[in-house]
Amino acid sequence: MLLDILFLAEKTGVKYAVDPLKQLLSTDGSPLPDDYLQLPVIEQLANAIFHHNNTMFCICVASLVTGIILLLAANTAMASQF
């Protein structure tokens, strides 16, 4: 999972700085304001991948839930054989 996050972060251009006020500049090259809040890497990735598209997010969640249900069903079927 860590490698997936690192791969996606590199491909989407996610930036994370330990001290963003000193290490990052705004798009016009000026320093960041004092109240700047840096988003976590996972949230930056979600924004880059889904572009605030709730439909795509819902499809991914539905696929995950379906996969979990199928995994539990297969596990139950195998348990009843022994």
Q: What pLDDT does residue 67 have?
A: 93
Rounded mean pLDDT of the chain?
84
pLDDT, one tens digit per residue, over 24-56 is 888 898 988 889 888 888 888 888 887 777 777
Helix axes 41-50, 2-12, angle to 10 degrees: 60
* Mean pLDDT calculated for residue range 5-21: 85
Q: Looking at 1-82, which runs of residues are DSSP E strands?
A: none
Calculate the alpha carbon distances from 78 to 31, 35, 67, 71, 73 in Å. 60, 55, 17, 11, 9
Please count the CA atoms within 13 angstroms of the CA of 3 that sit on its side-chain side: 0
pTM of the model: 0.53
